[in-house]
Amino acid sequence: MKIGIFCSGGDCAGMNPAIKAFVEECYIRNIEPYLIYDGLEGLIDGNIKKAEHSDVSGIIYRGGTVIRSSRSKRFFEKHYRAVAHQNLKNEGIEKLIVLGGDGSFRALEVFYDDFGIDFIGIPSTIDNDIFGTDYCLGVDTALNVIRRAIDDIRDTAASFKRAFVIETMGRECGYLALVSALTCGAEVCVIPELELNLSSLEKKLKKEVEEGRTYAIAITAEGSNMSETIETWFEEKIGLESRVTKLGHIQRGGNPSVFDRLIAHEFVVFALDRLEKASNNHHTIVTKNGKFDFLDIETVSNGKYEIKPELLKMGRILSGLNQGE
């Protein structure tokens, strides 16, 4: 059996540990492993190589992905999918593992419908917004990158009596912002999933400033589009000089955490187990309540990820809401 692996969409820490585990597990199982470079674009261009141990030696501690990634408009044209299929046939590759998000999984579902190429998707996105799984590869590392940044910014905030608005990634999902706000002691959290009561927060923070508070931290998700608004609010309503820091792409990088290295290996093992034992695979591997399972792509694509109600409840006070609101 020959199986290929590639990355698609945004990179994240944990991809390299997954690639290393894939190659090593394949050789243990007498499977021929293939690396597909540059994601879906590489699949079209035939940038495919049989993997050797030397290709993955020393990559487990590195962020990003050594086989690179891409986004591909070409892949949504059937002509280019046919080219990609022929490239796989030329190498004798029968099945695929893709590290990516739901957009990547949808692309592979179309590929499966066209040519019957089995695949398993491993959820890999720092936004942690894929339906059906509690955890996506790379999230723990991203949260630790954010935590370090907030801790460092707090030093300056305290030194200058300033409010800092720190924007995390998360276009439609506020998971990173919410968890970071809760674990870093922020005073304000702004995410798409929670209404924002600035009047309540104003009353609370003004009282704290009167009682001696000299600085404040607000965490916003990029999808809220509220960073500059909160900056102005701090200055005009709370009376604190304010700055905005947008963390941007540093959140995708960094050495993979122990947790991301371990779950990357677990994802790969379960994916290979499925590909070895079953056919007609067009599924995403998910983890729910500490257990691994598989969901078909249609279910994953049509579902909408929701942050756990328990986390949202804890975040309400940081959005100016009472528990009963």
| Cβ atoms < 10 Å from Cβ of 203 | 13
User: Alpha-carbon distance 291 to 241, whole Å?
Assistant: 47
Give me 49's structure tokens.
């190589």
The one catalytic residue in 127, 129, 140, 260 is 127
Helices first, then strands: H and E counts in the chain: 12, 11
SS3 276: helix
Catalytic status, residue 127: yes
Compute φ and ψ for 234, nearest 5 degrees.
Answer: -60, -45
Query: What are the backbone dihedrals phi and psi of residue 98, each rounded to the nearest 5 degrees, phi first?
Result: -120, 130
Ramachandran angles phi, psi of 165, nearest 5°: -105, 115
Contacts of 257 (CB under 8 A, 6+ apart): 13, 140, 141, 144
In angstroms, the CA 184 to CA 149 distance is: 10
> CA-CA distance, 123 to 297, in Å (whole number)?
11
Distance CA 276, CA 278 (A): 6
What is the CB neighbour count within 10 angstroms for residue 306?
A: 11
- Nearest 5°: the CA angle 304, 184, 14 is 55
Q: Which residues are catalytic?
A: 127
